[in-house]
Amino acid sequence: MDVILLGTAAGGGFPQWNCACRPCRTARRDPASALPRTQSSVAVSADGARWFLINASPDVRSQLALIPGAGPRPSRELPVEGVVLTDAELDHTLGLLLLREGRRLPVLASPAIGSLLEREGGVLRVARAFADAPFTPLEPGRAACLPDRDGAPSGLTVTAFAVAGDPPRFAPDAPADGATTGLVISDGRSSFACVPGCGALDGATLERLAAAGLVLFDGTCWTDDELISLGYGARTARAMGHVPMAGPAGSLAALAQLPGRVVYVHINNTNPVLIEDSPERRAVTDAGLTVGADGMRFSL
Ligand SMILES: [Zn+2]
């Protein structure tokens, strides 16, 4: 199984177009000391030929170029087999609209995410005006085969599982349950977990992550009050559905105990771990974890 990190930044990308925080300034001044990153997305394949996107970011156009063999086809069809979503947030779903020329655009996600995209967000509804976009619900906790474009087994199974989180800001009254999920994807021999948004690391979630050879995990903020202290918002990271990395109850301490490789993704542009020589980056690497960067590739 091959896994490619197509984009490792949170919404807004890195540097964010309107942001002058320290990491964003560093990335503009000296990109080698704070690598620019596109918005959160992953590609996975069992055979190196048929790929699935995990989340469709607003940067999907440039991200497809990172997938081997996913170039233009004579029939203009989508160069991937389908899109699996972890939530309905805009940084994970706006790419569906950009893929509308792909004729057929299979989307898989939990029923709660499907409902958000059909109704409140409207992304699927709009995409369907242009493409055949069938939606397959993934019942949380139940493994499902990922079919390729022809309906044949791709060699991958996916299990969505609900994690702590909040519904998207465009649907504040939608039920939170099942609106944020993690995915475990397996080829029968090995598995990896993709959890780009997670508001709390409880025992059940850690147990799932401990069984995966590779864990891609929410690296949005370093501290819980990061956006508040910078004057960029009134909500804590946890209140926005993202457990921070630092501190005794942070993700770094918990994830360092896992047996598999752990890579942070969905990193917000304010997070100092984005600066290559920062003490926060050193704390992550000293704990044995990796700060994800676009184009990183893992073979499991
Ligand atoms: Zn910034």
Per residue in 51-108, pLDDT tens? 999 999 999 999 999 999 998 888 898 999 999 999 999 999 999 999 999 989 999 9
Question: Looking at the DSSP assignment, which residues form a beta bridge with residue 107?
Answer: 83, 135
Q: Is the peptide bond before 74 cis (omega within 30 degrees of 0)?
A: no
**121 pLDDT more than 80:** no
With contact defined as beta carbons under 8 Å apart, do 73 and 151 qualify? Answer: no
**Distance, CA 227 to ligand 1 centroid (Å)?**
10
- What's the pTM value of the predicted model, to 2 decimals? 0.97
Q: Indicate whether 192 pLDDT > 90.
A: yes
Distance 12 CA to ligand 1 centre (A): 9
3-state SS, one letter per residue, for the chain = CEEEEEECECCCCECCCCCCCHHHHHHHHCHHHCCCECECEEEEECCCCCEEEECCCCCHHHHHHHCCCCCCCCCCCCCCCEEECCECCHHHHHHHHHCHHHCECCEEECHHHHHHHHCCCCHHHHHCCCCECCEEECCCCCCEEEECCCCCEEEEEEEEEECCCCCCCCCCCCCCCCCEEEEEEECCCCEEEEECCCCCCCHHHHHHHHCCCEEEEECCCCCCCHHHHCCCCCCCCHHHCCCCCCCCCCHHHHHCCCCCEEEEECECCCCHHHCCCCHHHHHHHHCCCEECCCCCEEEC
**CA neighbor of 59 nearest in space, from 41, 80, 85:** 41
pLDDT at 251 over 90: yes
Residue 19 alpha carbon to ligand 1 centre in Å: 4
Mean confidence (pLDDT) of the chain = 96
- Between the CA of 38 and the centroid of ligand 1 the distance, in Å, is 13
Percent of the chain predicted with pLDDT > 70: 100
Answer yes or no: is pLDDT of 157 > 90.
Answer: yes
Q: In the CATH scheme, what is the code of domain 2-299?
A: 3.60.15.10
**How many angstroms does the Cα of residue 22 sit away from the middle of ligand 1?**
7
Dist. CA 26 → ligand 1 center (Å): 9
Domains of the chain by residue range = 2-299
When pLDDT is averaged across residues 171-199 and rounded to a whole number, the result is 95
Pairing of strands 107-109, 181-186: unpaired
How far is the centre of ligand 1, averaged over its atoms, from the C-alpha of 220 (Å)?
12
Q: Distance from the CA of 232 to the center of ligand 1, in angstroms?
A: 10
How far apart are the CA of 211 and the centre of ligand 1, in A?
34
Residue 176 has pLDDT above 90, yes or no: no
Residues pairing with 3 in the sheet: 44, 298
pLDDT in tens, 8-45: 999 999 999 999 999 999 999 999 999 999 999 999 99
The confidence band for 119, taking pLDDT boundaries of 50, 70 and 90, is confident
Distance 29 CA to ligand 1 centre (A): 13
Q: State the pLDDT confidence band at 122, using cuts at 50, 70 and 90.
A: confident
> What pLDDT does 175 receive?
84
Query: Is 141 a residue whose pLDDT tops 80?
Result: yes
Q: Report the amino acid identity of residue 30.
A: D
pLDDT number for residue 104: 93
For residue 16, the CA-to-ligand 1 centroid distance in Å is 6
Q: How far is the CA of 184 from the centre of ligand 1 (A)?
A: 31
Q: Return d(Cα 249, Cα 159) in angstroms, integer.
A: 26
What is the mean pLDDT of the segment spanning 174-194? Answer: 95
Residue 82 CA to ligand 1 centre (angstroms): 32
Q: How many A from CA of 210 to the centre of ligand 1?
A: 32
For position 83, what pLDDT does the model report? 98
| Local confidence band at 166 (pLDDT 50, 70, 90 cut-offs) | confident
Q: Report CA(226)–ligand 1 centroid distance (Å).
A: 11
